[in-house]
Every structure is written in C-alpha cells, then in structure tokens.
C-alpha cells in the first residue's frame, strides 16, 4: 500500500512540474520586449525564435530601410511575417541624419508609422527619432 501511495505522490509531483512549465514557458515572450539594434537583425530570428508568442518588438532602423521595396527588403519580410501572431506593440526608432530639416523628420516619422499601421492593423505602433546609443541605453534599462 505504501508503494502505491509513493507512486501516486511521484506522479502528482510530475504533473505539478509539467503544469508549472506549461504556464510559464512562454512568459518571457509575452512580458519582455524583444529589442533589436536594427531591422536587419530581426530577419535572423524570424524563423529561429518563437516569435509567434512575442507581444512587443522594439528596433532601430534607417529611414531608407523602412520602405516596402523588393521582397528581400528586411522591412518587407518583417511586416509580412506570419509568425508574429501575438504581436501587440511595435516601437521603431528611426536613425535620421542630423542635417535633416525638422519638418522632413516629422514627415518621415508619420510616413513610416502609416506604412507600418497598414501592414499591422490594430497593433500599437510607435515611431520616434533617436540614435543607436539611445537605443542601447534603453535596452540596458530593461
């Protein structure tokens, strides 16, 4: 009788451990923003990570990278990826030239935001101006 109870106790412990794993395995993907230095870095991870569970992505890009040009364009691949099913928020930091006129910067930010919203409807999209150094400081704070 004691052996039967001991087996049941072991089995119950295994079920509890399995349930804890099931409930927490994807927690990192849903609670921590995935940050990439550039949009090109996302391309490497679209197939390797479980990006279908990621809720927030933050990346930096040059304005020239945020165009929907050829299909091999990193931006096009990112926006057309079917693996981003749980995505809720995208933050893009555009690295603009210092010499750009302020009105041009505002227009560029608005243009990129409109394009991304068209490909990711219903998602929270934030586009801001910044430098790679600012991005790195932000990521270290997370």
How would you write the pLDDT of the chain (142 residues) with one tens digit per residue? 567 777 777 677 667 777 777 777 777 777 888 888 777 777 777 766 667 788 888 888 888 777 766 555 667 777 776 677 788 998 988 888 778 888 998 998 998 898 888 888 889 999 998 876 665 555 555 5
Encoded tokens for 78 = 């990112």
Residue 40: CATH number of its domain: 3.40.50
Write down the pTM of the prediction: 0.73
Beta strands of the chain (E only): which ranges?
34-36, 56-61, 89-94, 124-129
Specify whether 92 is located in the same domain as 132: yes
| Phi, psi angle pair for 116, to nearest 5° | -65, -40
Contact 120, 79 (CB under 8 A): yes
Specify whether 77 is located in the same domain as 127: yes
Specify whether 16 is located in the same domain as 68: no
Predicted pLDDT of residue 126 = 94
Contact 54, 42 (CB under 8 A): no
Q: Which domain holds residue 40?
A: 32-141
């Amino acid at each position: 009788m004691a052996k039967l109870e001991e087996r049941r106790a072991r089995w119950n412990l295994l079920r509890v451990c399995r349930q804890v794993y099931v409930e927490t395995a994807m927690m990192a993907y849903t609670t921590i923003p995935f940050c990439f230095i550039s949009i090109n870095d996302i391309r490497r991870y679209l197939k390797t990570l479980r990006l279908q569970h990621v809720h927030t992505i933050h990346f930096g890009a040059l304005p020239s990278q945020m165009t929907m040009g050829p299909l091999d364009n990193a931006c096009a691949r990112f926006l057309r990826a079917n693996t981003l099913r749980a995505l809720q928020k995208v933050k893009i930091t555009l690295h603009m030239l210092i010499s750009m006129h302020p009105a041009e910067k505002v227009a560029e930010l608005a243009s990129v935001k409109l394009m991304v919203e068209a490909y990711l409807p219903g998602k929270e999209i934030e586009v801001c101006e910044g430098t790679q150094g600012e991005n790195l400081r932000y990521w270290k704070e997370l």
